[in-house]
Copies of this chain bind each other. A is one copy, B any other.
Amino acid sequence: MIAELKRLFVGQPLATEQLAHERLSKRIALAVFSSDALSSVAYATEAILIALAVAGANALNLVTPIALGIGLLLITVAFSYRQTIIAYPQGGGTYIVSRENLGTIPSLVAASSLLIDYILTVAVSMSAAVAAITSAVRPLEPYRVELAIGLIGLVTLANLRGIKESGQIFAVPTYLFIFSTLGLIGAGLYQVITGQVSPAPPPAITHIPEQLQGLSLFLILRAFAAGCTALTGIEAISDGVPAFKKPESRNASLTLIAMVIILCTMFIGITVLADAYNIIPDGSLQPETANSQLARAIFGSGTLFYYILQIATMLILVLASNTAFADFPRLNYFLASDRFLPRQFAQRGDRLVFSNGVVALGIFSAILVIVFGAREQALLPLYAIGVFTSFTLSQFGMVQRWRRIKTPGWQRNATINSLGAAVTGLVLLVLAATKFTEGAWAVIVLIPFLVVILRSIHGHYMAVAKQLSLAGAPPPTAVRRHTAVVLISGVHRGVIPALQYALSLAPDNATAVYVDMDADATAKIKAKWEQWGCGVPLVVLESPYRSLVRPLMQYIDEMDALYDDDVLTIILPEFIPSKWWQHLLHNQTALLIKGTLLFSRGKVVTSVPYHLDD
């Protein structure tokens, strides 16, 4: 039944040979790889506004210069990543680049940052997607968390079925978002130029506090740091170079340039308009997004254009979280192949996707959504730390690479990447300092913790491989003598085959053991043993504390000590009901005993089944 449900939702299994790779045109690749980066336009401007609001309404005008600064940062980082694209036509994910150029520990730091980053991408994007909808349809607001969890469930399921990171399907929402946002910006600028601006009415409750803080450098840096979430996702193209049509590097590089131009235009455009329309971020418990306020001010509430923009925003955010569903399992696969994560993450499921990674991402992001009540602005302070850690490591890895391989023009290349590493590293410090108390501390604590876990897992796998290696193993020795102990809980038909099995294995060394819990039952068993014991001696153990396991283990250890050259087999007669739910009705003692025996050295455990009819 469970198998049928799985077929229904996840689909028929696919054969390994169906694993195929589609090559993407630049137009489609832009849609596929840029949704994560472009979608950050949905929340980045508001994040800056919220950070500035503590210094009052006048401070909000700083949003434009801050956005210009972030635009500059964006271009610097993009130049840096262009080098990665050229150097790694096989795909230059941060983990790969830092493993190759910086060594194990930095690569694990990068991996930990990325794992956290992908989980946050899903949580932030899905929360922001829901915010875009609840801003337009206010009565849905109380169901934020449910809606976000529902979206995560849908995308998880779609990825378990195996959505290809490609196809026309991705192009529609991305281009819809790009064109509707550019439309908004165009309409807004037209109103600004023609002097028709009617500033948005401030929300009932704003983020501006009663007691204003003075405008300090710290505050400006914090607003800058808040806006840096606009950069999340720009590394996606460098991870995905092999998916481009030939010449891969050139096409990827051109796509990156196109993406950065579009992203800068949209981000700065929205920010300038938010400034011009005096958008004040909504500080209520049911906030409307700043973008929604702006769109209503420009297009008017309830207009078709307004709704199209909100729907396009939701769709691209869902798409953005979908890219994390491709990247997270793939990173898990790399880590598991290198034995830093359990092997289960390296296996493709029925539908050729890394199902365990997909499920893990769904669960972790859903937990974050619940904990943060699906409020993307509350999640953002955690978000950027992981992203900038991985930016810095990736760029620094490139610098080391140039210094190592010294290809022609390496000095120039190294300089560009050094600049990238320095700038992103500096931003990382600013982020950590200004967002520390808002939640960034959790990520700063979590990254080294994850590194330790990954290393312990690796250590364990290496130790096991060494112990299991046959190099220098002694030649196999045959089993000389068998001893068998049959554990019984009564005398019934299920016991007979187990006794016969024990006799066939160890004709002279078989015993049956019973734990006395009730004098009457024991007397009955002793009486039946004459006829049905098959000549196997019966041992009855006392148990003053009603424990089954303790006296049994003691007896088994005594039997084990009897001979040096034997193999001790514990035989469990198990009667198997015909339906799975009926298992719940029988004592789970066999399971408990097997679990205990697992940790007791050198005992072979044998289940002899007796199948019941309906």
- Docked complex Cα distance between A585 and B609 (Å): 29
Q: Among B479, B500, B580, which residue has its beta carbon within 8 angstroms of that of A476? A: B500
Is the CB of A464 closer than 8 A to any CB of chain B? yes
Contact mask A491-505 → B, CB, 8 Å, 1/0?
111101001110111
- Docked complex Cα distance between A470 and B605 (Å): 26
* Closest chain B residue to A465, Cβ basis: B492
Give chain B nearest CB distance to A498 CB in angstroms: 9
Is the CB of A199 closer than 8 A to any CB of chain B? no
| A470 in contact with B482 (CB, 8 Å) | no
* Chain A count of residues within 8 A CB distance of the other chain: 74
| A493 in contact with B468 (CB, 8 Å) | yes
**Which B residues are in CB contact (< 8 Å) with A577?**
460, 464
**Which B residues are in CB contact (< 8 Å) with A584?**
342
**Which B residues are in CB contact (< 8 Å) with A545?**
13-16, 350
- Docked complex Cα distance between A343 and B16 (Å): 47
Contact mask A473-493 → B, CB, 8 Å, 1/0?
100111100100000000111
* Closest chain B residue to A344, Cβ basis: B587
**Which B residues are in CB contact (< 8 Å) with A532?**
470, 473, 476
**Which B residues are in CB contact (< 8 Å) with A575?**
464, 468
Flag the segment in A286-294, A365-373, A596-604 that touches B: A596-604
**Which B residues are in CB contact (< 8 Å) with A534?**
476
Is the CB of A606 closer than 8 A to any CB of chain B? yes
**Which B residues are in CB contact (< 8 Å) with A599?**
576, 580
8 A Cβ contacts from A439-489 to B: 457, 460-461, 463-464, 467-470, 473, 476-479, 482
| A611 in contact with B601 (CB, 8 Å) | yes
Is the CB of A392 closer than 8 A to any CB of chain B? no
**Which B residues are in CB contact (< 8 Å) with A614?**
463
- Docked complex Cα distance between A590 and B492 (Å): 29
**Which B residues are in CB contact (< 8 Å) with A612?**
463-464, 467-468
- Docked complex Cα distance between A17 and B545 (Å): 9
- Docked complex Cα distance between A494 and B470 (Å): 9
8 A Cβ contacts from A204-255 to B: none
* Closest chain B residue to A598, Cβ basis: B576
Give chain B nearest CB distance to A485 CB in angstroms: 14
- Docked complex Cα distance between A463 and B577 (Å): 10
| A605 in contact with B607 (CB, 8 Å) | yes
* Closest chain B residue to A535, Cβ basis: B476
- Docked complex Cα distance between A344 and B574 (Å): 17
* Closest chain B residue to A614, Cβ basis: B463
| A493 in contact with B467 (CB, 8 Å) | yes
- Docked complex Cα distance between A521 and B604 (Å): 28
Q: Among B15, B348, B461, B528, which residue has its beta carbon within 8 angstroms of that of A470? A: B528
Q: Among B460, B478, B605, which residue has its beta carbon within 8 angstroms of that of A500? A: B478
**Which B residues are in CB contact (< 8 Å) with A196?**
none
| A606 in contact with B603 (CB, 8 Å) | no
Is the CB of A582 closer than 8 A to any CB of chain B? yes
* Closest chain B residue to A611, Cβ basis: B601
Is the CB of A416 closer than 8 A to any CB of chain B? no
Give chain B nearest CB distance to A603 CB in angstroms: 7
| B598 in contact with A602 (CB, 8 Å) | no
**Which B residues are in CB contact (< 8 Å) with A602?**
609, 611
Known contacts A15-B544, A476-B496, A501-B567; A613 and B467 CB within 8 A of each other: yes
Is the CB of A608 closer than 8 A to any CB of chain B? yes
- Docked complex Cα distance between A464 and B582 (Å): 10
**Which B residues are in CB contact (< 8 Å) with A582?**
460
Is the CB of A546 closer than 8 A to any CB of chain B? yes
| A499 in contact with B470 (CB, 8 Å) | no
- Docked complex Cα distance between A609 and B608 (Å): 18
Known contacts A15-B544, A342-B584, A479-B503; A604 and B598 CB within 8 A of each other: no
| A569 in contact with B606 (CB, 8 Å) | yes
Q: Among B473, B547, B587, B606, which residue has its beta carbon within 8 angstroms of that of A605? A: B606
**Which B residues are in CB contact (< 8 Å) with A482?**
504
- Docked complex Cα distance between A273 and B610 (Å): 69
- Docked complex Cα distance between A502 and B569 (Å): 13
| B528 in contact with A503 (CB, 8 Å) | no
8 A Cβ contacts from A555-610 to B: 567, 569, 574-577, 580, 582, 584-588, 594, 598-599, 601-610
Known contacts A575-B468, A585-B461, A609-B604; A499 and B479 CB within 8 A of each other: no
**Which B residues are in CB contact (< 8 Å) with A83?**
none
- Docked complex Cα distance between A342 and B588 (Å): 11
Give chain B nearest CB distance to A458 CB in angstroms: 10
| B493 in contact with A473 (CB, 8 Å) | yes
Give chain B nearest CB distance to A121 CB in angstroms: 26
Is the CB of A347 closer than 8 A to any CB of chain B? yes
| A468 in contact with B496 (CB, 8 Å) | no
Q: Among B348, B463, B469, B604, which residue has its beta carbon within 8 angstroms of that of A608? A: B604
Give chain B nearest CB distance to A527 CB in angstroms: 12
Give chain B nearest CB distance to A451 CB in angstroms: 17
8 A Cβ contacts from A30-52 to B: none
Other contacts beyond A16-B545, A16-B546, A479-B503: 5, CB < 8 A: A476-B499, A476-B500, A478-B504, A606-B606, A606-B607
Sample of 7 A–B contacts (CB below 8 Å): A13-B545, A342-B584, A344-B588, A463-B614, A467-B612, A479-B501, A604-B608
Which 5 pairs of residues, A with B, have the shortest CB-CB distance?
A468-B492, A479-B504, A606-B606, A13-B545, A15-B544
